[in-house]
Chain A
């Protein structure tokens, strides 16, 4: 089996328009969740979110291409370019590109396009829609455009498993390289759900905070959405070594489980089996883990059940774990969230800096974990897990090792 490493990373999210800026925000514990600025915001009861500010698509795309790109695709393309640049791969037209592919995770897909088009035809009574409505809104558009931009001819598709989409996507990319099905994959996730309809839908569940995202805090009050993308270059270690590429981290394990239980409520058992499965896949014991980037949505249900699952898997070692949820800073990117959160793992593994859980005010004995409250912490991190536990009970956990 091939070993799999990450040789490039890129991102656009509410904290920053690149990896370096996001790392700095993690070090600073900076929160990008704020009152939303969007059309009809006065009709929203949960007007908080982490928006990408000052986004100017024309700075990134030419006038002919731009009408084809929903906002989520725009974020994905920019993140992918950064990742490929860092990896130092010259893909288009290469023999490598003939076998390389793209696996993206997103849940809403072109929801901004859907929202705008529905507004046109239903609210405004228009009978004509933009001719690119379908190619813009389709969930797989980001994966296709990344592939086109870099000339990748291998396996390319999109995974949609709600809030675990990115982790499922990256896990599959990992498995494909490990098995030899592809030497290089671009993988991650993207989401741009911060439009009126996107937020209104979430309001219906009554899980959104009107205060701040406070994962694992006794006074937590719910989640807030974010938007953006993160894309990584996953590469066969032998291939990376042969070309002298710098390695950001090694992906050593992955597991996915289903709760088969409830469409919104999490289950301790499913989360436990996913974490334990990722460790077993990596051939490691629970004691090897130093850091967990938690799913940590800041809802009552998730944080309590996720904490119980961590205690269940790690036992006494749970007391020595650092666990943080960066959703407290960049918001919940839904289908793109695991990808942006993997950046916190790269920071921990690469620099020994653990991103904090922002907004934390009171220890919750029901959680009972060191959640690195409010301030980043220096700590040696050799092995990290990244958790994603989605609505519908779809769980995906990645295990990563320091380079």
Chain B
């Protein structure tokens, strides 16, 4: 597993108060019992860990066109999103 994936999983597992091993790419934040406050907390922790700025608004309804905002639907999507932001920064 990549460093990014490991770090994302560790942070999300910590917010969900579960062991990292129990998370899969398909796990969802709501399925892990993370509420909206927990979600902004997790986003903040990811930003701090990777020193990135995640374009996420708690006001997003999910109705935006694809490519807008930051996909937090699953752990896999979050990992891919963070990797994308890191790649943008490196470019």
Contact = CB atoms under 8 A, between A and B. Distances in A.
Contacts of B44: 128, 130-131
A128 B48 contact: yes
A131 B41 CA distance: 6
B48 A131 contact: no
Given A63-B17, A64-B17, A132 B48 contact: no
Contacts of B53: 127-128
Given A131-B40, A131-B41, 10 more contacts: A63-B17, A64-B17, A67-B41, A68-B37, A127-B53, A128-B44, A128-B53, A130-B44, A131-B37, A131-B43
A64 B38 CA distance: 9
A132 B17 contact: no
18 contacts: A63-B17, A64-B17, A64-B38, A67-B41, A68-B37, A127-B53, A128-B44, A128-B47, A128-B48, A128-B53, A130-B44, A131-B37, A131-B40, A131-B41, A131-B43, A131-B44, A132-B37, A132-B41
Contacts of B37: 68, 131-132
Contacts of A68: 37
Instruction: Tell me if A's interface is mostly helix, strand, loop or mixed.
Output: loop
B38, B41, B43, B53 — which one has the most chain A CB atoms within 10 A of its CB? B41
Interface in B47-77: 47-48, 53
Contacts of B17: 63-64
A132 B45 CA distance: 12
B76 to A, nearest CB: 23
Contacts of B40: 131
Interface string B29-42: 00000000110110
A108 B87 CA distance: 44
Interface residues of A, number: 9
Interface in B1-48: 17, 37-38, 40-41, 43-44, 47-48
Interface in A24-69: 63-64, 67-68
A64, A127, A130 — which one has the most chain B CB atoms within 10 A of its CB? A64
B12 to A, nearest CB: 14
Interface in A64-114: 64, 67-68
Interface of B: 17, 37-38, 40-41, 43-44, 47-48, 53
A131 B17 CA distance: 19
Nearest to A63: B17
Nearest to A64: B17
Nearest to A129: B44
B33 to A, nearest CB: 10
A68 B40 CA distance: 12
Pairs A-B, 8 closest by C-beta atoms: A131-B40, A131-B44, A131-B41, A128-B47, A130-B44, A64-B17, A67-B41, A128-B44
Contacts of B43: 131
Nearest to B44: A131
B40, B44, B53 — which one has the most chain A CB atoms within 10 A of its CB? B44
A64 B33 CA distance: 12
Nearest to A126: B48
A127 B40 CA distance: 16
A131 B38 CA distance: 9
A178 B48 CA distance: 51
Contacts of B38: 64
Contacts of A128: 44, 47-48, 53
Contacts of B47: 128
Interface in A198-222: none
A67 B48 CA distance: 16
Nearest to A135: B37
Contacts of A130: 44
Contacts of A63: 17
A141 to B, nearest CB: 14
B37, B38, B47 — which one has the most chain A CB atoms within 10 A of its CB? B37
Interface in A116-157: 127-128, 130-132
A344 to B, nearest CB: 39
